Amino acid sequence: MMIDLRSMEYAELEAFLTESGEPKYRAKQIFSWVMQGAESFDEMTNISKKTKQMLMEKCFISKLSIKEKYISKIDGTIKYLFALDDGNCIETVIMRYHHGITVCISSQVGCRMGCGFCASTIGGLYRSLTAGEILNQVIYAQKDIKERISNIVMMGIGEPLDNYDNVIKFLHNVNHSDGLNIGYRHISLSTCGIVDKIYKLADENLPITLSVSLHAPNNEIRGGIMPVNHKYKIEELIEACRAYIKKTTRRISFEYSLISGVNDSVENAEELAKLLQGMLCHINLIPVNHVEEREYHKSKNSDIKKFQERLIQLGMNATIRRELGADISASCGQLRKKLL
């Protein structure tokens, strides 16, 4: 089996090179080339021919190719449909904010979580991405725009905590000072609420921001739109979030997509405030994006405003997410889905 160097952690690479008879310092050189985006061994100018030959026999560097690219005329948001080495496609989005350039990346090809309002899950899960394939989205998007990406959100296609080990590897590599060197505080990971993995993540000691897709204040509503709630009830999820905050001292961001007539009443806001009472958290209100195959619709602007105001009155920290890339179907899975 050929080894994808883009998926290897520093210590793994060092062990592999030592086993292959290479000196220890080679690891730093090769790791830097690979993690900063080298596409072939030829680019590695400080590596001997003999070492390159050995690498070529045992390893490869995974790639992405741009299959489609759309640039929003409204706000400059860029959406890529990237093809993986096996032909499967994923989506990656570049957003420009005043604090820097953010990339929104995918963690799986498809998704098996089944959320009722989401386009990414419609065809189910094809496979998880490797650590290298996750990283490649940052590398290739950065190369394409020729500007430094400073922030990462794992909010694209897939459920990152359903691909736990590869996601952790990716986080270590993208943060590494010999790699892209992106600070953990500039990385957000969004989950639909896989409770046992939230506890595990708390123990990893990574100061990233955890986003939890809550979308409802109780089991009845949440169970109706998010099948994951049948496995982990909202009380268990909130308990895990409280434990996460206690362990990491990091604030959690709760995502709440407002769906007309489903979860957007003032009573829902009150119940939500009660559920999250006293927690170190922020509530991110998102007007739900309409997905053709689904019957869910965006809440009225006046209802969204009322929902937010009630939360604020009750002492919660709540903002409404600005919509980016509205003209290029920038929200999750909308582009890949067209190909299925």
Residues in the site for ligand SAH, rule: CB under 6 A?
115, 117-118, 155, 159, 190-192, 213, 255, 257, 286, 288-289, 291, 331-332
Q: What is the number of other CB atoms lying within 10 angstroms of the CB of residue 66? A: 13
Q: What is the number of other CB atoms lying within 10 angstroms of the CB of residue 234? A: 20
Q: Rounded to the nearest whole angstrom, what is the least distance from the CB of residue 120 to ligand SAH in the complex? A: 7
- Token couple for 142: 């950065």
Q: Rounded to the nearest whole angstrom, what is the least distance from the CB of residue 244 to ligand SAH in the complex? A: 15
CA angle, 22 then 51 then 46, to 5°: 100
Pair 260, 299: CB distance under 8 Å: yes
Decide whether 32 or 219 has the Cβ nearer to ligand SAH: 219
Specify whether 332 is catalytic.
Answer: yes
Q: Rounded to the nearest whole angstrom, what is the least distance from the CB of residue 197 to ligand SAH in the complex? A: 12
DSSP state of 217: S
Q: Which member of 22, 91, 133, 255 is catalytic?
A: 91
Burial tier of 119 (Cβ tally within 10 Å: 0-12, 13-18, 19+): buried
- Token couple for 60: 């490869």
Decide whether 59 or 332 has the Cβ nearer to ligand SAH: 332
Strands of the 318-320 sheet, one edge to the other: 65-71, 78-83, 89-97, 100-104, 151-154, 187-191, 209-213, 252-258, 281-287, 318-320
Q: Rounded to the nearest whole angstrom, what is the least distance from the CB of residue 165 to ligand SAH in the complex? A: 17
Decide whether 47 or 332 has the Cβ nearer to ligand SAH: 332
Decide whether 110 or 132 has the Cβ nearer to ligand SAH: 110
Decide whether 30 or 93 has the Cβ nearer to ligand SAH: 93
Half-sphere exposure (CA, 13 Å, Cβ side) for 144? 24
Alpha-carbon span 136 to 52, nearest angstrom = 21
Q: Rounded to the nearest whole angstrom, what is the least distance from the CB of residue 285 to ligand SAH in the complex? A: 10
Q: Which residues are catalytic?
A: 91, 332
